[in-house]
C-alpha cells in the first residue's frame, strides 16, 4: 500500500560552537559583519574592550544584537574568547588591532548601531594629550561609522579627558546629546568597579547620530583594497 504520511523535514544540525571568537585580522578590507556572526542583527562596537567585562555581560543581555570588541592585548582578548565561548555567546566577536585603525579603515560607513569607549587611556600629562583616542577627528570617524540614530557612549574617570570628550562630542555637527539608558548604566566595567571601590568619580556621556543627517562615505583615496 502507498505510504501517505508526509515526509518529515530533517532537523537542521545545531549551530556548532565557534572554535574561537577572535576574528582573523584582515586589515586591507572593511569588515563584512554578515560573515562574522550567525545572524544579521544590529552591530555594536567596543574599542579598548579590556578583559571584556562590559561586552560579556551586555552581549548576554542582548542576544538580538551583535557585538565586536577591539583590544590590542592578546591576553585580554583570549579571556574574552574563553569566557564568551563558555557562556555560549554566538553574538560576540573580538579583534586584536589598534582601535583607531579599525574605526577609520575597517568599519563600513553607517554600519554601527552603537560605539562604546569605556575608560580609554587618559594620558594625563598635557604633553601627551595628543595621544588620546577621543579627539575632534575621532568623533568625525564615529559619525561616519554610526547609522543614523546610532549612539556613541563614553566613560572616563579623568576630569580633563572628560572635558575634551564633551567638547568634541558636543562640537560634532552630526551628534545630539542623549541620556544613557538605565539598563546600560547598570553594566559596570572592571575598571569602573575599581574606581567605584576606591571612591573615584566616573563620568559618562552619550550622543546620538542625528537620524536625518546624510551618510558620509569615505573619499576615494580612503580605499585601501581594490
Active site residues: 121
CB of 56 to ligand SAM, least distance (A): 11
**Closer residue to ligand SAM in complex, CB, 148/190:** 190
Site for ligand SAM in 101-160 (CB under 6 A): 118-121
CB contact set of 43 (below 8 Å; sequence gap of 6+): 33, 37, 65, 66, 67, 68, 111, 112, 113
User: 134-144 burial by CB neighbour count: b if 16+ within 10 A, else e?
Assistant: bbeebbbbbbb
CB 84, CB 17: distance < 8 Å: no
Q: Which stretch binds ligand SAM (CB under 6 A): 1-9, 13-21, 29-37, 67-75?
A: 67-75
Residue 103 DSSP symbol: I
CB 172, CB 207: distance < 8 Å: yes
Lateral strand order in the sheet of 112-118: 92-95, 66-70, 43-47, 112-118, 146-156, 203-209, 175-177
Q: How does strand 146-156 pair with strand 203-209? A: antiparallel
Q: Which stretch binds ligand SAM (CB under 6 A): 29-37, 49-57, 134-142, 213-221?
A: 49-57
**Closer residue to ligand SAM in complex, CB, 98/208:** 98
CB contact set of 108 (below 8 Å; sequence gap of 6+): 30, 31, 33, 145
**Closer residue to ligand SAM in complex, CB, 28/73:** 73
Site for ligand SAM in 168-207 (CB under 6 A): 189-192
44 binds ligand SAM (CB under 6 A): no
CB of 62 to ligand SAM, least distance (A): 17
Number of residues that bind ligand SAM (CB under 6 A): 19
Query: Quick one: which of 72, 78, 204, 210 contacts ligand SAM (CB under 6 A)?
Result: 72
CB of 199 to ligand SAM, least distance (A): 17
Rounded Cα gap, residues 18 and 15, in angstroms: 9
28 binds ligand SAM (CB under 6 A): no
Residues that bind ligand SAM (CB under 6 A): 48-50, 53, 70-73, 76, 98-99, 118-121, 189-192
Amino acid at each position: 500500500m502507498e505510504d501517505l504520511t508526509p515526509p518529515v523535514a530533517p532537523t537542521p544540525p545545531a549551530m556548532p560552537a565557534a572554535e574561537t571568537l577572535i576574528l582573523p585580522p584582515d586589515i586591507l578590507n572593511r569588515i563584512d559583519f554578515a560573515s562574522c556572526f550567525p545572524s544579521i542583527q544590529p552591530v555594536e562596537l567596543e574599542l579598548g574592550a579590556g578583559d571584556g567585562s562590559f561586552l560579556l555581560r551586555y552581549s548576554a543581555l542582548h542576544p538580538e544584537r551583535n557585538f565586536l570588541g577591539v583590544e590590542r592585548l592578546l591576553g585580554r582578548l583570549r579571556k574574552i574568547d574563553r569566557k564568551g565561548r563558555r557562556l555560549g555567546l554566538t553574538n560576540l566577536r573580538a579583534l586584536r588591532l589598534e582601535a583607531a585603525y579599525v574605526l577609520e579603515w575597517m568599519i563600513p560607513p553607517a554600519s554601527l548601531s552603537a560605539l562604546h569607549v569605556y575608560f580609554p587611556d587618559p594620558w594625563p600629562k598635557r604633553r601627551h594629550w595628543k595621544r588620546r583616542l577621543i579627539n575632534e577627528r575621532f568623533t568625525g570617524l564615529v559619525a561616519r561609522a554610526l547609522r543614523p540614530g546610532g549612539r556613541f557612549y563614553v566613560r572616563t574617570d579623568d576630569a580633563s579627558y572628560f572635558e575634551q570628550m564633551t567638547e568634541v562630542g558636543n562640537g560634532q555637527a552630526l551628534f545630539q546629546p542623549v541620556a544613557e539608558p538605565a539598563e546600560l548604566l547598570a553594566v559596570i566595567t572592571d575598571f569602573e568597579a575599581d574606581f567605584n571601590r576606591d571612591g573615584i568619580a566616573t563620568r559618562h556621556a552619550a550622543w546620538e547620530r542625528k537620524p536625518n543627517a546624510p551618510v558620509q562615505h569615505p573619499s576615494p583615496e580612503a580605499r585601501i583594497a581594490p
